[in-house]
Amino acid sequence: MLNVLIFEPNAGIRNTLKYIFNLKGFNCFFINDINENCENKKFDIVYLGINNKLEIDSINKFNTSEIIVSTDIFAPQLLQSELLILNYNIITKPIYLNKILEIIDRFLDKSNNKNIKVKKPKLSNIQDYQITKKLHEGKFSINYKGRNKNNKKLFIKKLKQTDKNKSLISDFFQEALLDIDSKNTVKIIDFDINNSGIFIIYEYIDGKNLKEIKQIWRYNRKAKQIFWIKITIKLLETLNEIHSKNIYHSDIKPENIIVKFNNKNKIDFNNPNIKLISFGQAIIKESKFIKSNSSFLSVYSPPELILKKNKLINQTSDIYSVGIMLYELLTGEIPFSNCNPLKTIAYQLNKNIPENKKIDKNLFLILQKATYKHVFPKPHTFYNSEQIEKMLILGQEKRYKSVNDFKNNLINYLNNK
């Protein structure tokens, strides 16, 4: 296992560094004072965020083959000159992420360590893009419609810089850096960090998400059912491709599936095409980094995610969420819901989906298998961690083993209607 020592006073940057180094397979060790005694410890890489001459004098004490020194772009010229003379890897804030990735990759290449494939962001200036319309503002981010210099439409997401969203920084970087490379996932065009914020620039998708379609639907119930099942089949095909890369989306919900418009600027209800978005919550099993918890949970989250057993996340976890979502699309009702959030969570952990007159028996059996869970005989707080994990695994083992199994059952159902 590779080790990195990090000295960085800025908490937001520390979170970002932790995510990047963990993703690349490093254990992270943090110090709060550059003068802490670390002389007897060997590190593969040492990262030092320094801002004054006294801190420069402490650099040589570290036992490592690779030192990254980060300083503010507005630091005194003398400070930057001394760093250059010392011949360290010099990076400046705020735009420094790409340089860090290059240094890490160069080190890994030298040491023949394999690491997960991540995208190299261009880190061009956000001024290269023109924001044309504000689409939506949430608690933690603002979404815009924009254009590039060639007048091509783009989607731009800005992460708000507040104390409350520091935990979301790693989600934001994960989405920017993951190289999914699928025709059914939204493509990330660019990535930018500057004094006004952190931005991701995506391809623009003309279409509507499933939540929007559900709210404006005008077709009869049978046509609706066929359409929702076709959409789910497309989604499962997309997830199969993603799962083959050891990536589990972990945030499947109607808002995160966009149905593209056809060349007539309409939705093709007979042969819909989708885009899966929002990979900030994804669990990457190939990486040494496994999130300790998710930033957000939803009514579509499987029990293993609700109970923060992220090491148990696998194909069956996304299958569960797809099953709950399809149930809602078919019935117009979320199977586990209560005005009291604690009761909703209790239902998610201890109740299986109820039968509904809008779902026939054969289709219900398919959904029941996709969303199976082992019901806890007592509240989960009565059990220790090992007992909880065993019961969660019992539930997972009775779901479909792969998204292809789920997909094939839905195809057979449609063919027999």
Mean pLDDT of 321-341: 90
pLDDT digits (tens, 9 = 90+) for 132-166: 999 888 777 889 999 988 899 999 988 876 555 55
Is the whole model's pTM more than 0.85, yes or no? no
| pLDDT band of 288, cuts 50, 70, 90 | very low
Give 77-115 as a DSSP string: HHHHHHHHHTT-EEEEESS-HHHHHHHHHHHHHHTT---
Please, what CATH class does the domain formed by 2-110 belong to?
alpha beta
| pLDDT band of 206, cuts 50, 70, 90 | very high
pLDDT digits (tens, 9 = 90+) for 211-250: 999 887 766 778 889 999 999 999 999 999 999 988 899 9
Q: Do domains 2-110 and 126-203 have the same CATH topology?
A: no
- Copy the structure tokens of residue 25: 């397979």
pLDDT digits (tens, 9 = 90+) for 63-91: 676 777 766 543 444 344 444 434 456 55
Pair type for strands 45-49 and 2-7: parallel
Exposed/middle/buried for 322, CB within 10 Å: 0-12, 13-18, 19+? buried
Q: Say which residues have a Cβ less than 8 Å from residue 386's Cβ, sequence separation at least 6.
A: none
In this prediction, what percent of the chain has a pLDDT beyond 70?
A: 76
What does the mean pLDDT of the chain come to? 81
CA angle, residues 354, 357, 360, in degrees to nearest 5: 90
Backbone dihedral region for residue 265 (phi beyond 0: left; psi -120 to 50: alpha; all else: beta): left
Provide Rg for the chain, Cα atoms. Answer: 24
State the DSSP code for 140.
Answer: S
**Which alpha helices (DSSP H) does 1-146 contain, by range?**
11-23, 53-56, 77-85, 97-110
Among 189, 182, 308, residue whose Cα is nearest residue 245 = 182
* Sequence spans of domains, the chain: 2-110, 126-203, 207-415
pLDDT digits (tens, 9 = 90+) for 355-377: 999 999 999 999 999 999 998 88
Exposed/middle/buried for 342, CB within 10 Å: 0-12, 13-18, 19+? exposed
Lowest-confidence segment of 101-110, 120-129, 253-262, 361-370 by average pLDDT = 120-129
> Is domain 207-415 annotated with CATH 1.10.287.110?
no
d(CA 395, CA 397): 5
CATH topology classification for 126-203:
Phosphorylase Kinase; domain 1 (3.30.200)
Q: Is the dihedral of CA 175, 179, 183, 187 positive or negative?
A: positive
